[in-house]
């Protein structure tokens, strides 16, 4: 069976509830998630790195060292153990790439 493709545009339409990622692809033990961001998430940290890429909208990732503003087609890796707080400046669609066992 040939590998099954995904469409970011189609999956984006299924995202109703904010901050609730859907896993759209796997790469070994890593996953590609997509989520809707709206309003504020909360301060937290992980034991592994986390990559964000904004597909639509505009977000701010607050860190204790300063804020990172991400427009459409911009991204950043938040290193492991770095406390951060994602905030949607506009309603946004965001890709996240991370270890499937991320805590």
Q: Could you tell me which stretch among 14-22, 35-43, 60-68 binds a second copy (CB under 8 A)? A: 60-68
The yes or no reply on residue 81 touching a second copy (CB under 8 A) is no
Evaluate whether 26 touches 19 at the Cβ level (below 8 Å).
Answer: no
Give the gyration radius of the chain's Cα atoms. 13
Burial (Cβ within 10 Å: 0-12, 13-18, ≥19) of residue 70: buried
Evaluate whether 103 touches 46 at the Cβ level (below 8 Å).
Answer: yes
Whole-number Å distance between alpha carbons of 93 and 19: 10
Q: Name the residue nearer to a second copy (CB basis): 61 or 88.
A: 61
Of 46, 13, 33, 48, nearest to 95 by C-alpha is 33
Residues 4-33 that bind a second copy (CB under 8 A): 4-9, 24-28, 30, 32
The yes or no reply on residue 103 touching a second copy (CB under 8 A) is no
The yes or no reply on residue 94 touching a second copy (CB under 8 A) is no
The yes or no reply on residue 70 touching a second copy (CB under 8 A) is yes
The yes or no reply on residue 76 touching a second copy (CB under 8 A) is yes
Binding site residues, a second copy, CB under 8 A: 1-9, 24-28, 30, 32, 48-51, 53, 61, 63, 65-70, 73-80, 82, 97-99
């Amino acid at each position: 069976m040939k590998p099954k493709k995904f469409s970011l545009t189609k999956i984006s339409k299924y995202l109703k509830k904010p901050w609730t990622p859907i896993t759209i692809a796997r790469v070994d033990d890593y996953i590609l998630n997509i989520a809707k961001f709206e309003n504020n998430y909360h301060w937290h940290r992980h034991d592994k790195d986390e990559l964000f890429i904004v597909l639509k909208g505009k977000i701010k990732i607050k860190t204790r060292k300063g804020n990172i503003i991400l427009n459409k087609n911009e991204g950043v890796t938040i290193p492991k153990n770095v406390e951060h707080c994602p905030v949607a400046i506009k309603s946004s669609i965001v890709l996240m790439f991370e270890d499937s066992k991320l805590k």
